[in-house]
Amino acid sequence: MNNAMGTGQATNVSPDQATVCCRGASNALGHPAVYLTFAEQSTVQCYYCGCKYTQAPTDGDNPQAAE
């Protein structure tokens, strides 16, 4: 696992999660913890740090790198 967050790429979360908690980047600064709710969309963006979170299936889905 890498901690490459805040680089403009969305972080995948389980579709089972209705909310996601964001506390900012992996540095010491970050921001106060906020809970982002997936309303009618599968992607939310943190209004503090701009991190994007996307609901993505992680179980039963086996993404294969098609060459």
**Contact code string over 17-56 relative to Zn ion, x by CB under 5 A:** -----x-x---------------------x-xx-x-----
Q: What is the DSSP string of 1-67?
A: -----SSSPPEEE-TT-SEEEE--SSSS-----EEEE--SSSEEE-TTT--EEEE---SS-------
Q: Which is nearer to Zn ion, 44 or 46 (CB)?
A: 46
* Size of residue set near Zn ion by CB under 5 A: 6
Choose one: 5-13, 15-23, 37-45, 52-60; the region binding Zn ion (CB under 5 A): 15-23
